[in-house]
Amino acid sequence: MACMSRIVQRTGSIVLALLGAACGAPEPAPQPVPRPSILVITLDTTRADAVGPEARGVKTPAIDAVAARGLRFRQAYASVPETLPAHTTMWTGLYPAGHGVHENARSVPARHELAAQKLAAAGYRTTAFVSSFVLARRFGIARGFELYDDEMPQGSAERSARDTTERALAALAAPPAGAARPLLMWVHYFDPHAPYAPPEPWKSRYAESPYLGEVAAMDEQIGRLVAAFERHAPGPHAVLIVADHGEGLGEHGEATHGHLLYQGTMHVPLIVAGPGVTPGTSDVPVSQRRVYHTVLDWAGLGSQDSLRSVAANAAPEVVLGEAMKPFLAYGWQPQVMAVAGRSKAILAGRIEHYDVIADPGETRDLAAQGPPDRRLRDALREYPVPSPDGPPAQEALGEEERRQLASLGYVASGAAPVVRPDAPRPADRTALFALMEQTSDLFVRGEYRKVIPLLQRMLREDPHNLDAALRLATAHSTLGQEAEAEAAFAKAREIAPGSADVRTYLGLHYARTRDWRRAVPLLERSVAEAPDRLPALEGLAALREREERWPEAIELRQRVHALRAPSATELLQLGALAMRVGRTELAIEALQGARAKQGEAFEHHLELGVVYLAARRLTEAREAIDRALARQPDAPMALFKRAQLAVLLDEPDQRQRIEAARRGADPHVRELIARERLFERAR
């Protein structure tokens, strides 16, 4: 494959590069190395200046120790300042324009083969431990991992570095059979993400900067993790440490991340250590997408674009980045970043240009002194902006998931974009960030009455903000204010007439009203267009039950459960539906699943016994009925079923069982006993 800059010069298209073509100057192919076990540690929300030997205001001895024996990239860049898109880049090797995940709460398209899938196919054992709901299995990022631990503590959307490390260490210490294979292990830490609340002693030690306190606390766990990995995983060992993106910390008016493309959020730490890596530092700008190529290289699956081969004197590749959420959700300008050498250009309505070595704070825009390098301009101009008319790759969310995501400061509106020539530049809208955060916070906590006036104000100040219009509509809908909800939906439709999300949320709104039948065609269309769109699937499943279209309800529920783990209650509901249409095996599977989840709290032993009996699984039926009777010794139906089983299993006490059933019978069971032929042949 040609390198990107040559493609730009030759064809004027960078699409090939986005789709995985090699980039940068020709680099020497690295020497093959024995396949190591590979540990990839991704640090959420960690600025380049917050870790490593050059960190400011914080000590990170564990990361420094890896850096001391590895190669540290001092000019590494995130591809997008959001968690799921950035991780998708690292596991596909593609920029967001290539993999299509521009925001959190979308799905990684199945057409992309992730690094873990390739390594698993090449004989690696693959395990992952993530610390935020944003990276839950349902978003498609778990493909290829034999073990994917995304279980968050009850009622929480995130997990501490300590908790995640404990789980990773337990898995390392107790490998399954076949553990002689090399291991790919991915551990994601979320601690530095807002809100900043480090544990002691870091809380006191970093009282002035709790953000850095979170980083320091995370570093301690990294030390434990790396030591355990090198003790237990088959050697040799490779370790890669990288951040998904940084944190604004107030620079350029951005407290957190996701809205702008300045260094605080885009410049990230990146360290590789292991076989074939020459220790040192590199000032060559590189994208985090090369994590993918480096992992493949270590696994012997191709050395192209591996970070092992970045020479100190290599000609700089054009490193790209984007922040499309303000464009997709609020109708602001799309934003693209391009970096080559010490030059960085940002296109967001107009071009900004900085020398990030001399001016890492990006305080002096050089654009007035002339345009940036032609390569940068070409790259910015040709970076594909996601099309509002494209296929709806959006994945909308259910109430609970939305709450969880928003509790992390992420709000995925699922909003389709409208490109307007007069769209504001995100950097000129920073005054709205605080109001957006406040509305998001109230919305998450379900304080709809309080959030409505703020959303109305938001729409007055930012009249094309689809995210605000959809939230306003949903807030009214949830409060049962139907007229106001419909007015807000009308506004949303005016902003984005073709939006699949407006259609979906309108459908979910109707489903809450007496007009629920109007929801059916809307949600049918949503499901047809985007088969993985969970809330639409969930909503349509509920509608099918109301329509008493049981087989379709079952099919939709099964699709929902394939995308996310069902609750015990949902499994019981599926079991009841399956029993209703006589799908015995499915009913057994669902009830067994509910029992496994509920343990001692499971109360449906009788139902389970009945479906086992229907499936002629008599021993299991007897065990289930005995459990029911142990809890309720005089339950008439359980006594009756137990007597039936005694006869069918030809037990010696079958007559006593029948007698006990007769004595305990209520009128309904008495009738059943009278008609039970089985009892006539009892011994």
Q: From residue 378, give the alpha-carbon distance in Å to each of 10, 166, 365.
A: 12, 47, 19
Contact predicate 635/606, CB 8 Å: yes
**Cβ closest to Zn ion, residue 106 vs residue 375:** 106
- Closest approach, Cβ 46 to Zn ion, in A, equals 9
How does strand 319-323 pair with strand 125-129?
unpaired
Please tell me whether residue 270 adopts helix, strand or coil conformation.
strand
Burial class (CB in 10 A: 0-12, 13-18, 19+), 4: buried
> Would you say 83 or 221 has its CB closer to Zn ion?
83
Cα radius of gyration (the chain): 29
Choice between 83 and 88, CB closer to Zn ion = 83
Q: How far apart are CA 184 and CA 295, in angstroms?
A: 9
Q: What is the SS3 assignment for 7?
A: helix
Q: Are 645 and 637 in contact (CB under 8 A)?
A: no
* Cα 181 to Cα 424: distance, rounded to the nearest angstrom: 53
Residues that bind Zn ion (CB under 5 A): 44, 83, 244
CB of 442 to Zn ion, least distance (A): 23
State CA 232 to chain mean position distance: 28
State in angstroms the smallest separation of the CB of 86 from Zn ion: 6
Our CB check for Zn ion shows the closer of 44 and 297 to be 44
Helix (H) or strand (E) run with residue 217 in it: helix 210-232
Rounded to a whole number of angstroms, the minimum distance from the CB of residue 45 to Zn ion is 5
Which CB atom, from 83 or from 573, has the smaller least distance to Zn ion?
83
Q: What's the burial of 312, exposed, middle or buried (CB within 10 Å: 0-12/13-18/19+)?
A: exposed
Q: How far apart are CA 507 and CA 301, in angstroms?
A: 47
Find the shortest distance in angstroms from Cβ 188 to Zn ion.
9
Phi, then psi, of 240 in degrees rounded to 5: -130, 125
Measured from the CB of residue 603, what is the shortest distance to Zn ion in angstroms? 41
Asked whether the beta carbons of 473 and 492 are under 8 A apart, the reply is yes
- Please say whether the beta carbons of 367 and 504 come within 8 A: no
249 vs 500 by CB, closer to Zn ion: 249
Residues in contact with 616: Cβ distance below 8 Å, sequence separation at least 6, in sequence order: none
Question: In 288-387, where do the E strands start and end?
Answer: 319-323, 335-340, 343-348, 350-355
Is 616 exposed, middle or buried (CB count within 10 Å of its CB: 0-12, 13-18, 19+)?
A: exposed
CB nearer to Zn ion: pick between 37 and 132: 132
Least Cβ distance, residue 246 to Zn ion (angstroms): 9
Task: Give least dist CB 61 to Zn ion, A.
Answer: 24
Closest distance of CB 301 from Zn ion, Å: 27
Distance CA 332, CA 279 (A): 43
Which residue number, 79 or 474, has a Cβ lying nearer to Zn ion?
79
- Per DSSP, the three-state class of 159 is coil
Residue 172 or 412: the one with the smaller Cβ distance to Zn ion is 412
Q: How far is the CB of 357 from Zn ion (least distance, A)?
A: 26
Looking at beta carbons only, is 133 or 612 nearer to Zn ion? 133
- Supply the minimum distance, in Å, between the C-beta of residue 95 and Zn ion: 17
Q: Which residue is nearest to Zn ion (CB)?
A: 83
Q: Report which residue type is found at 95.
A: Y
Cβ count within 10 A of residue 626: 14
Nearer to Zn ion, 244 or 297 (CB): 244
